[in-house]
Amino acid sequence: MKNLKLGIFGFGCVGQGLYHVLQQSNAINSEIVKICIKDLNKPRPLDKSYFTNQKDDLLQNDDIDVIVELIDDAEAAFSIVSTAMNNGKSVVSANKKMIAEHMEELLALQEKNKVSFLYEASCCASIPIIRNLEEYYDNDLLTSLEGIFNGSTNFILTKLLTGGQTFDEVLKEAQNLGFAESDPTLDVEGIDPKYKLCILLFHAFGLIAKPDDIFNYGISKINTFDINYAQRHNYSIKLISKCRIVDEKIEAYCLPTFLPNDAVLSQTNNEYNAVILETAFAESQLLYGKGAGDKPTGSAVLSDISALNHDYKYEYKKNARNHGKLALCEDFKLRLYVRYNDSTPPLEDFESIEEKYASKQGNFLVGTIQLKHLKHSNWINEASISLIVLNN
């Protein structure tokens, strides 16, 4: 087994999580050579000799075999990753935005330089979903994939439905626990799980989709009126990312969804993630685990490092088989709950309206709408509008 020499970019939550799980693991034959950070004066749990603020101390270091990229800036991360691969180094990354936005370029860099690029930690933290899609589900006919891909929003929604707190109070708690960033926009607006859905779409069906091609809508507008509706109907609310094949087209979205309280995903609470896979032979299967936190994410990075000890690479067999055969579509229907204040959404956008309710506390309608009409409408951006899929 190789003794891998690691160069790490970033030593925040995930970087420190990796350091701790690496220290506690006896099975991984690797060592940290250098860590690139921004602030050399910040106290660290390692000797100062490990740290540098010069990226070339890692990228141009012949003693380093593997670059581990764990920073927040997606464009800076792409520069680091592409330089590393061009220098013949394999790379492990947790940067879902960078991967989703640059998938085609990253594939070409791997092929050109004959190196491995692994990124299990980019999707659902401790859940080994990418490796399973690459290996276990390669020979089974996968028809759909859906789940809770963001631990921050799941923590917030769990607390909102059970704790009687406001959105701002629960968000603050999530930030204090390290589940949400100081700027939570990527999480609460459904952007982070959309990046993950792009990556999983590729490993599930071989389709490269740009993030802008997938419709997302977050949870930041959910209020007590929506919570009361859920409780009256014995629903939970979950931010669901979903994709499925229908007649060689793929339906995909990331939307808050009402689920019956006895549904499998309704039992996934706090910072936990879950993925449900539907296949022709194995039928329905569930993967479940922590989707946020330093050690769960660090463990996924460690798993990729361990795989590199055995020269593992993604083979991207579904991309080779399905390239050009599948495409995203927008002409499918959603059953939708829409809460609004004074101005009723344009009813002509809906194919049918099955319920409409008005009161001093708030108004809502339940109707069926095609995704293309929803995605390209203006009224969904109004502050008083809240959208939640009715998944039954």
pLDDT of residue 181: 77
- For the segment 20-72, what is each residue's pLDDT rounded down to a tens digit? 888 887 767 788 999 999 999 998 888 999 999 999 999 999 999 999 999 99
Which one-letter amino acid corresponds to residue 333?
Answer: K
In the CATH hierarchy, which fold is given to the domain comprising 4-126+294-314? Rossmann fold (3.40.50)
Name the DSSP class of 206: -
Residue 84 has pLDDT above 80, yes or no: yes
Where are the CATH 3.40.50.720 domain residues in the chain?
4-126+294-314
In the CATH hierarchy, which fold is given to the domain comprising 330-392? Alpha-Beta Plaits (3.30.70)
- For the segment 150-160, what is each residue's pLDDT rounded down to a tens digit? 999 999 999 99
- For the segment 178-223, what is each residue's pLDDT rounded down to a tens digit? 777 778 999 999 999 999 999 999 999 999 999 999 999 999 999 9
Run of H or E including 201: helix 191-205
Which one-letter amino acid corresponds to residue 187?
Answer: D
C-alpha–C-alpha distance, residues 98 and 45, integer Å: 28
**Is residue 279 within 8 Å of residue 137, measured between CB atoms?**
yes
Question: Treating both helix axes as pointing N-terminal to C-terminal, what angle do 191-205 and 103-113 enclose, rounded to 10 degrees?
Answer: 50
Where are the CATH 3.30.70 domain residues in the chain?
330-392
Report, as an integer, the average pLDDT of 336-352.
94
pLDDT of residue 140: 64
Run of H or E including 52: strand 51-52
pLDDT of residue 317: 87
Token code pair at residue 236 = 């939970």
Q: How far apart are the first and last CA of the chain?
A: 51
C-alpha–C-alpha distance, residues 219 and 356, integer Å: 22
Q: Which residue has the higher pLDDT, 93 or 30?
A: 93
pLDDT of residue 27: 67
- For the segment 258-273, what is each residue's pLDDT rounded down to a tens digit? 999 999 999 999 999 9
DSSP output for 212-273: GGSEE--STT--HHHHHHHHHTTEEEEEEEEEEEETTEEEEEEEEEEEETTSTGGG--TTEE
- Residues classed as catalytic: 196
**Is residue 198 within 8 Å of residue 210, measured between CB atoms?**
yes
Q: Which residues are CB-neighbours of 171 under 8 A, at least 6 positions away?
A: 156, 180, 184, 188
